[in-house]
């Protein structure tokens, strides 16, 4: 017996016992044949719909509608209004509701066509395109992770838009995990959390952004877990984004982490120079002033100094655009750009003097090694620590991608480099001698 059935039976038990106006009571035969054959079909926003299989019984139940409303209001601790329908009429209202346009929440401007692909995001983009071409058949779930501002949301919407274009009948929903939590809270306030299951179980594709915000949300995690299983078991596609790899997510149940890991995970690194430049060129094309000319060396400068994430690039370009309007100029050269960025710390302390080759050479000499030893696949302890420190310095000082660093070190996978950098960062915090060695290396590189 579900919750609605229990509520209805308790309501009828109370109704059967209480004395009605004029000292009347409901006849036992009517109670059994009319009232107990009816049921509560929905509870939503303090409205209760009671249905009966026989439409000719509707008027009989309506004779006691006010009494039923009073009893249910007391049971549910809020004022309740009751609607009484025959089951066939109720089914028709459900059909009409289901025929209303389905809201997918997709941002139509985020497509694969305007997503700039480079070595920092190529694997994630390829997996996204494959998933959108055949939802539910490949890499389910697909998990995409990166720091903020690197294109996760763009890819997520591109998947939905491409899938919708290929098959307009697909039911697709994009939602952030914060919005999902708000929906769960709203459903619980309406005292019908079953509605949220019905809303999601019929989807063909669920695109959920920033899953990390399910952190310590017990009820929301529980509901999401069941929705996740329902969709996966029915070969419906799920794509998830996060600011961390699945195993690094904190405050989320291990059973959910396990399911995230059951599909395919790809990270997106900060854009390397070529990708950052291509992104800038595309955004310059979309500026409101088509007559604006930004010199090539200025674009190179911005791609070098603002490639930490795409939002940095956008912010730098908007600043330059604003300065051009204020100074009534349509020709932006390096002198103008440097003046526009003069109070920016990134520009004041450029790292362009450093190169990968210099960091390799300096680290090798510091530890009395050859560069060949440093980049080799040899995993002896004598080489592992200097190698990890060298990877860390390249990442921190040049801000190049994990994938690019991995290529330098005998084609190691980007995840190997990512973990090595994380280990170094952790050791710096715990071991003063280790931190001192890295500071000495930085000093040799002219950093401090």
Task: Please tell me the distance from the alpha carbon of residue 187 to that of residue 174, in angstroms, as a whole number.
Answer: 18
Averaged pLDDT of the chain: 84
Task: Of 31-45, 144-158, 173-187, give the lowest mean pLDDT range.
Answer: 173-187
Q: Rounded CA gap, 311 and 129, in Å?
A: 23
Query: Does the pLDDT at position 215 exceed 90?
Result: no
pLDDT at 50: 92
CA distance 144 to 130: 14
Interior CA angle at 332 toward 331 and 333, to 5°?
115
Residue 112: the pLDDT is 93
Superfamily for the 122-267 domain: P-loop containing nucleotide triphosphate hydrolases (3.40.50.300)
Tell me what percent of the residues of the chain surpass a pLDDT of 70: 92
Q: What is the pLDDT of residues 369-408, one digit of tens each?
A: 888 889 988 888 889 999 999 999 998 888 788 888 999 9
| Topology of domain 356-444, CATH | Chromosomal Replication Initiator Protein Dnaa; Chain: A; (1.10.1750)
pLDDT at 191: 54
What CATH number labels 3-98?
3.30.300.180
- pLDDT of 91-132, one tens digit each? 877 755 554 456 888 999 999 998 988 878 888 999 999 999
Handedness of CA 17, 21, 22, 27 (dihedral sign): negative
Q: How confident is the model at residue 237 (pLDDT cuts 50, 70, 90)?
A: very high
**Alpha-carbon dihedral 436, 442, 444, 448, rounded to 10 degrees:** -100
152 touches 209 (CB < 8 A): yes
Give me the CATH code for the 273-348 domain, please. Answer: 1.10.8
pLDDT of residue 248: 77
Domain regions of the chain by residue span: 3-98, 122-267, 273-348, 356-444
| Packing angle of the helix pair 310-326, 296-305 (nearest 10 deg) | 140
Inter-CA distances, 190 with 48, 194, 405, Å: 11, 10, 53
**Neighbouring C-alpha atoms within 13 Å toward the C-beta of 187:** 19
Give CA–CA dist 87/58, Å, rounded.
Answer: 10
Nearest CA-CA partner of 306 in 245, 358, 347, 342: 347
Residue 73 CB partners (closer than 8 Å, separation 6+): 79, 80
Task: Retrieve residue 20's tokens.
Answer: 């009605």
Q: Which residue has the higher pLDDT, 42 or 219?
A: 42
DSSP-assigned beta bridge partners for residue 207:
174, 239
User: What is the structure's pLDDT at 158?
Assistant: 95
Residue 72 phi/psi, 5° resolution? Answer: -65, -35
Q: What percentage of the chain exceeds 90 in pLDDT?
A: 18
Residue 143 pLDDT: 92
**Any idea what the Cα angle at residue 188 is, between residues 185 and 190, rounded to 5°?**
115
pLDDT band at 352 (very low <50, low <70, confident <90, very high): very low
Using DSSP bridges, classify how beta strands 81-86 and 331-332 pair: parallel, antiparallel or unpaired.
unpaired
- Write the pLDDT tens digit of every residue in 171-201: 899 998 888 888 777 776 665 566 677 778 8
- pLDDT score, position 190: 60
CA–CA separation, 390 and 361 (whole Å): 10
Return left, alpha or beta for 77; rule: phi > 0 is left, psi -120 to 50 is alpha, else beta: left
Angle formed at CA 165 by CA 163 and CA 170, multiple of 5 degrees: 55
Q: 12 or 21: which carries more pLDDT confidence?
A: 12
Contact 420, 385 (CB under 8 A): no
**What was the pLDDT predicted at 102?**
66
Reported as a single tens digit per residue, the pLDDT across 339-348 is 888 777 555 4
Whole-Å CA distances, 439 to 15, 165, 443, 444:
80, 54, 6, 9
Mean of pLDDT values over 152-165: 93
Neighbouring C-alpha atoms within 13 Å toward the C-beta of 342? 5
């Amino acid at each position: 017996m579900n919750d609605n059935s229990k509520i209805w039976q308790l309501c009828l038990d109370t109704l059967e016992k209480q004395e009605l106006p004029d000292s009347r009571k409901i006849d036992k035969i009517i109670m059994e044949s009319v009232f107990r054959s009816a049921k509560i079909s929905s509870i939503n926003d303090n409205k209760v719909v009671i249905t009966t299989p026989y439409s000719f019984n509707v008027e009989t139940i309506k004779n006691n509608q006010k009494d039923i409303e009073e009893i249910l209001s007391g049971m549910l601790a809020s004022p309740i209004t009751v609607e009484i329908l025959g089951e066939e009429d109720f089914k028709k209202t459900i059909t009409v509701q289901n025929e209303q346009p389905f809201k997918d929440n997709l941002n139509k401007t985020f497509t694969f066509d305007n997503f700039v692909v480079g070595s920092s995001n190529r694997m994630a983009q390829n997996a996204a395109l494959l998933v959108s071409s055949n939802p539910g058949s490949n890499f389910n779930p697909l998990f995409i992770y990166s720091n903020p501002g690197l294109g996760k949301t763009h890819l997520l919407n591109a998947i939905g838009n491409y899938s919708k274009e290929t098959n307009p009948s697909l039911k697709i929903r994009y939602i952030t995990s914060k919005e999902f939590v708000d929906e769960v809270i709203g459903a619980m306030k309406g005292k019908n959390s079953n509605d949220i299951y019905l809303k999601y179980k019929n989807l063909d594709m669920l695109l959920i952004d920033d899953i990390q915000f399910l952190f310590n949300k017990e009820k929301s995690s529980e509901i999401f877990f069941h929705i996740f299983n329902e969709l996966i078991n029915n070969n419906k596609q799920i794509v998830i984004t996060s600011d961390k790899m699945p195993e690094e997510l904190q405050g989320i149940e291990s059973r959910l982490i396990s399911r995230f890991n059951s599909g395919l995970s790809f990270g997106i690194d900060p854009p390397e120079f070529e990708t950052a430049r291509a992104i800038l060129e595309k955004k310059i094309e979309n500026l409101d002033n088509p007559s604006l000319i930004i010199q090539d060396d200025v674009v190179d400068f911005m791609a070098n100094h603002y490639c930490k994430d795409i939002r940095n690039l956008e912010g730098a370009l908007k600043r330059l655009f604003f300065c051009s309007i204020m100074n009534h100029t349509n020709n932006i050269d390096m002198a103008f750009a440097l003046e526009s960025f003069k109070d920016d710390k990134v520009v004041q302390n450029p790292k362009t003097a450093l190169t990968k080759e210099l960091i390799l050479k300096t680290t090798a000499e510091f530890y009395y090694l050859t560069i060949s030893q440093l980049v080799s696949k040899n995993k002896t302890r004598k080489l592992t620590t200097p190698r990890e420190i060298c990877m860390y310095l390249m990442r921190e000082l040049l801000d190049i991608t994990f994938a690019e660093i991995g290529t330098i070190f005998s084609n190691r996978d980007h995840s190997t480099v990512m973990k090595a950098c994380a280990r170094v960062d952790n050791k710096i915090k715990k071991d003063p001698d280790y931190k001192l060695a890295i500071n000495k290396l930085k000093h040799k590189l002219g950093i401090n």
